[in-house]
Amino acid sequence: MSARRIDGKAFAAGLRERVGTIAADFAGKAGRKAGLAVVLVGDDPASQVYVRSKGKATVAANMNSFEHRLPTDATQEQLEGLVDTLNANPEVDGILVQLPLPAHLNEQAVVDRIAPAKDVDGLTPVSTGRLALGLDGLVPCTPLGSLMLLKDIHGDLSGMNAVVIGRSILVGKPMAQLLLAESCTVTIAHSRTKNLPELLRGADIVVAAVGRPEMVRADWLKPGATVIDVGINRLPPEPGAEKGKLVGDVAYGEASEVAGAITPVPGGVGPMTIAVLLRNTLVAAHRNENIALTDTTL
């Protein structure tokens, strides 16, 4: 068996195109563009790249991008004050504070400060609570993007056995909640789970988000299983190379000989994250202006 390669890059491109079309329609109805504000504290190179790419993608999708940069030594009061200002700005529909923050700042307090209606990362207590209760709300981008890929392959997920490896608030926990809402039978596993290979061999769906390079091996998988690899790990560079190879949490080469479908790393889940961020911003904009979405499947 050779697994179907799940092309997240192509799916994300289609989603971004749809978002751009609907965003243009929104601007005509609301008299303004939807707006995403991204806050970056410090000068971490990786975070700077992420913020730039998010800004470009936002503008390309017919929305306004508001970038706010604070120095590394910014105080908790300064950061929370900026979030308060963005909460009150009617031009801003979504607020994303780029994590991680410098160590002297309280991340949870900053996240808690974001207005739930503008919480496009889906991390506030209100957003996580609504997800747990099965109520409509804004959902973390990576899990929602992963669910979109799964539904694109299978359509109805009802009754499928799913194992989520990882219990983070960013991916593992919300992913499990989303799969439960699709009537899957869900098990949350993690790095300390006993007999993990045996557990995975009964799974129709495996979502790996544990942060360990190539931890999931081919003989851990049920033949024909669908594998969503959320992990992004950089291996040590080989002699003479500047950077090491990017790999996921699943040993892609061997796993693709057993799985029915699998996401590559890179090019799988990664591109979905920004696409869903744009989607969440557009959804928030429609709700903030009490305008019905023209595409109810978004």
SS3 of residue 260 by DSSP: coil
Whole-angstrom distance, CA of residue 173 vs CA of residue 89: 31
Rg of the chain in Å (alpha carbons): 19
Whole-angstrom distance, CA of residue 268 vs CA of residue 249: 12
CA 242 remoteness from chain centre: 28
Which residues are designated catalytic? 54, 98, 121
Report whether 168 belongs to an annotated binding site: yes
Residues in the chain: 298
Whole-angstrom distance, CA of residue 230 vs CA of residue 235: 16
Whole-angstrom distance, CA of residue 264 vs CA of residue 11: 13
Instruction: Give just the sign of the alpha carbon dihedral 80, 85, 88, 92.
Output: negative
Element (H, E) at 36: strand 35-41
Q: In three state form, how does the secondary structure of 223-253 look?
A: CCCEEEECCCEECCCCCCCCCCCEECCECHH
Report whether 32 belongs to an annotated binding site: no
Place of tokens 């092309």: 7
Report whether 167 belongs to an annotated binding site: yes
Q: How far is CA 74 from CA 26, 95, 98, in A?
A: 36, 18, 14
Scanning 42-154, the segments in alpha helix (DSSP H) are: 45-60, 76-88, 107-113, 125-133, 141-154
SS3 of residue 24 by DSSP: helix
Whole-angstrom distance, CA of residue 4 vs CA of residue 261: 4
Residues belonging to the binding site are: 166-168, 232
Residues belonging to the binding site for NADP(+) are: 166-168, 232
